[in-house]
């Protein structure tokens, strides 16, 4: 078995976190660490956390409590991501066995933080970064932490918590993408929208975009490595502003979509306020752009949209939907909805239900409002009881299910191109994904074995609320 320091990393939350973890893993591997599958095998246990709702935040503290006993074996714990940024040094009080707390804006400083962790802990059996010929001085020990710190103290405490004013993106050439066929590229980080309920502007800092040159260089590099599907990522991906001023978001979509070798380009999440008609025109003009837009609405009531500080009205949102519906291609539309925001009446909720009917979404992510630290909505009275929030959520999901059953039925008899994603052995079905981001499982004749990552044509024969079933067109 190989030696060296080992790490285990578990990721919670959104695609941004998933991709951040790929970059963190790449950085750790470059620093000489080896990734392992279980906490028991690891020297360093990392959690990349999410704090969008209270439940997500609590998960990480449960994990830390579950494995606390492993500290006695010399293992070190680190909390990364949104909970790290939000709770900061308070994490050391709540989980004293944690050594590293690092928000996403500070990941670029991870090599120095790792160096500090190594030199403050047991260095006898492991060569230091300097001894391994790697550069970078430790500079980030928390200056406010007056607790004793010695060479072998388990109390080493490191925080990397840039404030939200940083204008740097976390770019690295070391992203360890797990899927060899489709991968993410972050084009914009942070958020300046400050919706009344949301922690993201506080945990991920101010909005900052990468240059279009660097995005295109990464897309070309991925195409050279054999990737055929790229997904551009941002909390509000379409708020992208090229620091070089060379292209708009829609022009960037077209440019990445035209990189030789790229067959599919997706982007998420779009904010309605920055959603221009030029995005729909780009989808119509560039065949590699996928026929799917995720456009979170949150509520169908203007009163609630205003209280949420969403910066658009129901009418403006529906205008954007109309642009998509009048496109040459059939664009699948999905959304996010929050129920039970403070002061949401039954009538407001009905307006949201009615919006689902009007748009006819192909999918929704729906959430009960969860009060979050630092957010303006915290000052509002969260007076809707949890049972009522649950009831509204249930009604909403049932209505959406009916809409999806009708939408998915329309695909029966059509032939769709899918990217082969894998096989469900238990059902003896292959798993495919359409350009509209629908799962289309399919059967194949005995002699055929489709390759994962390739594109095949499938005839749809049956529909379900969340997926389709078909057979390979030979
Ligand atoms: N930037 C995207 C937008 O503005 O639509 C959304 C990104 S946010 C990370 C993902 C989703 O989490 C939101 O669309 C919202 O529905 C949900 N969400 C955020 N804060 C929430 C809260 N406090 N309670 C419940 N759901 C929340
Ligand atoms: Fe959160 Fe609003 Fe920013 Fe989306 S736009 S990340 S919901 S603050």
pLDDT band for 155, please (50, 70, 90 cuts).
Answer: low
Cβ–ligand 1 distance for 281 under 6 Å, the answer no
User: From ligand 1's centre to the CA of 273, what distance in Å?
Assistant: 15
Which tens digits make up the pLDDT trace of 74-102? Answer: 899 999 999 999 999 999 999 999 999 99
User: From ligand 2's centre to the CA of 469, what distance in Å?
Assistant: 35
To test the pocket of ligand 1, the residue of 193, 310, 336, 375 to mutate (highest count of ligand atoms within 8 Å of its CB) is 336
| Closest-approaching ligand to the CA atom of 342 | 1
Q: Over range 160-180, report the average pLDDT.
A: 85
**Distance separating alpha carbons of residues 69 and 41, to the nearest angstrom:** 14
Count each helix (H run) and each strand (E run) in the chain, helices first. 13, 19
pLDDT band for 3, please (50, 70, 90 cuts).
Answer: low
- Strand 98-102 relative to strand 76-81, pairing: parallel
Which tens digits make up the pLDDT trace of 214-239? Answer: 999 999 999 999 999 999 999 999 99
Cβ–ligand 1 distance for 338 under 6 Å, the answer yes
**What is the chain's mean pLDDT, rounded?**
91
Quick one: pLDDT at residue 339?
Answer: 98
pTM over 0.75: yes
User: From ligand 2's centre to the CA of 299, what distance in Å?
Assistant: 14
Task: Please determine, for residue 454, whether its predicted confidence score (pLDDT) is greater than 50.
Answer: yes
Quick one: pLDDT at residue 154?
Answer: 52
Residue 32: other Cβ atoms inside 10 A: 17
pLDDT band for 145, please (50, 70, 90 cuts).
Answer: very low
Ligand 2, CB within 6 Å, residue ranges: 191, 193-195, 198, 200-201, 235-236, 271
**Distance separating alpha carbons of residues 389 and 341, to the nearest angstrom:** 9
Ligand 2 atom with the shortest distance to the CA of 298: 7
Q: Over range 52-60, report the average pLDDT.
A: 93
Tally the residues of the chain.
Answer: 474
pLDDT band for 138, please (50, 70, 90 cuts).
Answer: very low
């Amino acid at each position: 078995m190989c030696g060296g320091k080992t790490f285990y990393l578990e990721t919670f939350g959104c695609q941004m976190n998933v991709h951040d973890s790929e970059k963190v893993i790449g950085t750790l591997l470059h620093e000489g660490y080896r990734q392992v599958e279980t906490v028991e095998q690891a020297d360093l246990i990392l959690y990349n956390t999410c704090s969008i709702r209270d439940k997500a935040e609590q998960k990480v503290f449960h994990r830390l409590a579950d494995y606390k006993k492993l500290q006695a074996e010399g293992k070190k714990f680190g909390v990364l991501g949104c909970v790290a940024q939000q709770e900061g040094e308070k994490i050391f009080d709540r989980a004293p066995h944690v050594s590293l707390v690092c928000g996403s804006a500070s990941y670029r400083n991870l090599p120095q933080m790792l160096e500090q962790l190594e030199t403050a802990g047991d260095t006898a059996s492991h060569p230091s970064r300097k001894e391994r010929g790697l550069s970078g001085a430790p500079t980030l020990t928390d200056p406010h932490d007056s607790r004793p710190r010695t060479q072998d103290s388990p109390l080493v405490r490191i925080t990397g918590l840039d404030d939200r004013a940083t204008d740097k993106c976390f770019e690295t050439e070391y992203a360890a993408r797990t899927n060899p066929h489709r991968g993410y590229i972050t084009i914009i980080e942070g958020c300046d929208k400050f919706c009344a309920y949301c922690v993201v502007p506080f945990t991920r800092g101010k909005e900052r975009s990468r240059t279009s040159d660097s995005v295109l260089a990464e897309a070309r590099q991925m195409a050279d490595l054999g990737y055929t599907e790229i997904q551009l990522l941002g909390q509000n991906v379409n708020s992208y502003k090229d620091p070089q001023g060379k292209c708009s978001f829609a022009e960037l979509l077209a440019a990445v979509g035209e990189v030789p070798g790229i067959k599919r380009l997706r982007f998420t999440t779009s904010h309605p306020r920055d959603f221009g008609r030029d995005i729909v025109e780009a989808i119509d003009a560039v065949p590699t752009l996928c026929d799917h837009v995720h456009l979170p609405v949150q509520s169908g009531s203007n009163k609630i949209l205003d209280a949420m500080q969403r910066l658009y009205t129901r009418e403006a949102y529906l205008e954007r939907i109309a642009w998509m519906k009048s496109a040459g291609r059939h664009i699948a539309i999905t959304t996010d909805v929050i129920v039970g925001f403070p002061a949401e009446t039954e009538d407001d909720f009905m307006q949201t239900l009615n919006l689902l009917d009007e748009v006819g979404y192909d999918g929704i992510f729906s959430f009960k409002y969860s009060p979050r630290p630092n957010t303006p909505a915290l000052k509002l009275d969260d007076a809707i009881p949890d049972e009522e929030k649950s009831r509204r959520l249930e009604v909403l999901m049932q209505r959406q299910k009916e809409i999806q059953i009708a939408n998915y039925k329309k695909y029966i008899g059509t032939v769709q191109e899918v990217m082969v994603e894998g096989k469900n052995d238990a059902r003896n079905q292959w798993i495919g994904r359409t350009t509209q981001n629908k799962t289309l499982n399919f059967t194949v004749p005995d002699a055929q074995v489709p390759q994962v990552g390739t594109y095949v044509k499938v005839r749809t024969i049956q529909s379900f609320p969340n997926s389709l079933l078909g057979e390979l067109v030979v």
